[in-house]
Amino acid sequence: MSSTADKVIEVICEKLSVTADQCLPEAKFIDDLGADSLDTVELVMELEEQFNVTIPDEVSENILTVGDAIKFVEENA
Amino acid sequence: MELKRIVITGTGVISPVGNTTQDFWSGLLSGKSGLDTIKGFDTEGHRCTIAGEVTDFDPTQYMEPAAAKKIDRFCQFAIAASNEAVEEAGLKDSSIPAERIGVLIGSGIGGLATLEEEVEKLVTKGPRRVSPMLIPKMIGDMSSGIVSIHHGFKGPNFTAVSACASSTHSIGEAFWILQRGDADVIVTGGAEAAITPVGMAGFASMRAMSTRNDDPQGASRPFDKDRDGFVMGEGAGILVMETLESAEARGANIIAEFIGYGATADANHITSPADDGSGAAAAITMAMKHAKIDPSEVSYINAHGTSTPMNDKFETRAIKSVFGDNAPNIPISSTKSMTGHGLGTAGAWETIVCALAVKNDKIPPTMNYTTPDPECDLDYVPNKSREVSVDIALNINLGFGGHNATGLVRKFK
């Protein structure tokens, strides 16, 4: 796994109070990692902050899994 | 209207003096001060650098770490104190339906630390960086909301906001919710955590706080001639209030009976109390009317006693105007001399003190009382706790905005 992926997972673990081994690529933030809608907004903001990217609302609405987040950051950061 | 008997069946405390009811109470009886130099932030440039901070507090002892991260410190205090009160009252194992248990926890300020952090983000990083958790962490009603979520209580739920009288109003309104039958139990009290840079600067700019920075433990000196302002405290106080019928039906331990509540306004000034104490006096009289007691029956007063020059003088006038020639015979103490001023949680701590005073026939002292003030010439139980029969105790709290709230607690018989 890339170092970017590791760093994304680190952010997810910190924001959602989960462990790295829970962060499988297909894990859904809300259904699998116990997040609520406010958590997912905060998570996206933290990714923007950490990777210095802007994630438009229409894009962030489709970042639903760990894999989605890694893919977006890898392609845009 | 024939009133129901309402009793207190559990208490919980997080405070500068101790983080359980027992530590709080034994600390107060021994004259222990919870006040010190502020450790929570750099006070460089601040006019007042002392406060009563809660120490040895690990929120994850009381709730899941993920839950603790999502709420402001004042709500962490509320949950911690509610755990103790709910446990003591035996509510967890009771068969009382969740819909019959309400929550009404006051806060004067709300999540000030959260607001400060997010304003800084707004200014330095722009509006898109402001957390979606700002509003739910900040709003003052979240203490009641989060405690209901934590314990699953589904009865009436809101928050009274009346500055330093917030928890006294909460307790009093809880009494009336129980009277009107909308719940059998209310988890009530207050929670506050405003020892933050903006909170301290704001109160200091009002010249409301003591600047005796080199003597933190001697700085809160209610009714003493050399008092120069209040010292801020933080924490939570929670009481489980319940109809006697409910408490007896489940064999609950009863600490004391809550018999009356009064609430009035000064209609005078945004921060200064009325100089004749008339608004506070009317609130005392109202509570006694509901309790159907005579002024001569009051055996202890836990005063608002903030240690500001004005409050203590005008509150003394209020007490004299209600109790007349008998006023000098009633022991009065201000536990703020040890806890500091808990703002929206002050009334909850002090109602708990009243309940424990009538239960144990002990009165905690007013510490740091060394020089009598001719304008404050009553019995303030100076510097040493007292063992004396206490049947009925009166609690007084007065808030910016001119809010006056009082409560009466009686030994349970």
Share of residues in chain B with pLDDT > 70 (%): 100
Rounded to a whole number, what is the distance in Å from the CA of B132 to chain A's nearest CA?
Answer: 6
pLDDT in tens, B297-328: 999 999 999 999 999 999 999 999 999 999 99
**How far is residue B136's CA from residue B197's CA, in Å, rounded to a whole number?**
21
CB contacts, 8 Å: A49 with chain B: 125, 129
Residues in A closer than 8 angstroms to B132, CB to CB, are: 38, 41-42, 45
Q: Is the ipTM value over 0.90, yes or no?
A: no
| Alpha carbon separation from B207 to B3, B50, B201, B309, B347 (Å, rounded) | 43, 14, 10, 11, 22
d(CA B310, CA A45): 48
Say whether pLDDT at B27 is over 90. Answer: yes
Edge-first strand order for the sheet with B403-410 is: B157-158, B101-106, B185-192, B235-243, B6-14, B256-265, B403-410, B392-399, B300-302, B332-333
Please write the tens of the pLDDT for every residue from B359-413.
Answer: 999 999 999 999 999 999 999 999 999 999 999 999 999 999 999 999 999 999 9
| Residue A77's pLDDT band (cuts 50, 70, 90) | confident
Chain-chain contact of A41 with B132 (C-beta, under 8 angstroms): yes
| Other Cβ atoms within 10 Å of B30 Cβ, number | 13
Whether B356 shows a pLDDT value over 70: the answer reads yes
pLDDT in tens, B122-133: 999 999 999 999
Residues in A touching B65 (Cβ below 8 Å): 17
Average pLDDT, rounded, for chain A: 94
The pair of three-digit structure tokens given for residue B289, joined into one six-digit string? 């009317």
List the single residue in B65, B125, B132 with the smallest CB-CB distance to A42. B132
- Report pLDDT digits (tens) over B62-93: 999 999 999 999 999 999 999 999 999 999 88
DSSP letter for A28, please. B
pLDDT above 80 (res B248): yes
Bridge partners (DSSP) of residue B294 are none
Residue tagged active-site, from A6, A31, A32, A36: A36
**pLDDT higher than 90, residue A2:** no
**Active site amino acids of B:** 164, 304, 341
Are A34 and B66 inside 8 Å of each other by CB? yes
3-state secondary structure labels for all residues of chain B: CCCCCEEEEEEEEECCCCCCHHHHHHHHHCCCCCCEECCCCCCCCCCCCEEECCCCCCHHHCCCHHHHHCCCHHHHHHHHHHHHHHHHHCCCCCCCCHHHEEEEEECCCCCHHHHHHHHHHHHHHCHHHCCCCHHHHHCCCHHHHHHHHHHCCCCCEECCCCHHHHHHHHHHHHHHHHHHCCCCEEEEEEEECCCCHHHHHHHHHCCCECCCCCCHHHCCCCCECCCCCECEECEEEEEEEEEHHHHHHCCCCCCEEEEEEEEEECCCCCCCCCCCCHHHHHHHHHHHHHHCCCHHHCCEEECCCCCCHHHHHHHHHHHHHHHHHHHHHCCEECCHHHHCECHHHHHHHHHHHHHHHHHHCEECCECCCCCEECCECCCCCECCCEECCCCEEEEEEEECCCEEEEEEEECCC
Mean pLDDT for B15-44 is 98
For A35, the closest chain B residue by CA position comes to: B66
Question: Distance (Å) from the C-alpha of residue A15 to the closest C-alpha of chain B?
Answer: 9
Question: Averaged over A6-13, what is the pLDDT?
Answer: 96
Residue of chain B minimizing CA distance to A14: B66
The percent of residues above 90 in pLDDT, for chain A, comes to 95
Is the CB of residue B403 less than 8 Å from the CB of residue B352? no
State the nearest Cα–Cα gap between A46 and chain B, in angstroms. Answer: 9
DSSP A63: -
CB-CB: which of B66, B125, B128 is closest to A17?
A: B66
Phi, psi of B397 (to 5 degrees): -140, 140
Task: Count other C-beta atoms under 10 Å from residue A57's C-beta.
Answer: 8
Any idea which of B5-14, B38-47, B73-82, B272-281 has the lowest mean pLDDT?
B272-281
Supply angle C-alpha B82, B86, B90, rounded to 5: 170
**Which burial class, exposed, middle or buried, applies to B255 when counting CB atoms under 10 A from its CB (0-12, 13-18, 19+)?**
buried
| Res. B47: pLDDT tops 70 | yes
B129–A41 CB contact, under 8 Å? no
Report all structural domains of chain A as residue ranges with CATH numbers, in order of start: 4-75 (1.10.1200.10)
- Tens-place pLDDT, residues B171-220: 999 999 999 999 999 999 999 999 999 999 999 999 999 999 999 999 99
CB pairs under 8 A between A and B: 20
Residue B171 pLDDT: 98
Contact yes or no for A45 and B129 at CB 8 A:
yes
What's the pTM? 0.96
Mean pLDDT of A32-53: 94
CB count in 10 Å sphere of residue B348: 34
By the 10 Å C-beta count (0-12 exposed, 13-18 middle, 19+ buried), A11 is classed as middle
Q: What is the pLDDT of residue B1?
A: 75
Contact indicator for B164, B108 with CB cutoff of 8 Å: yes
Over range B150-178, report the average pLDDT: 98
Residue A1 confidence (pLDDT) above 70: no
Statement: residue A60 has pLDDT above 90: yes
Residues of A with CB under 8 A from a CB of B: 16-17, 34, 38, 41-42, 45, 48-49
SS3 state at A65: strand
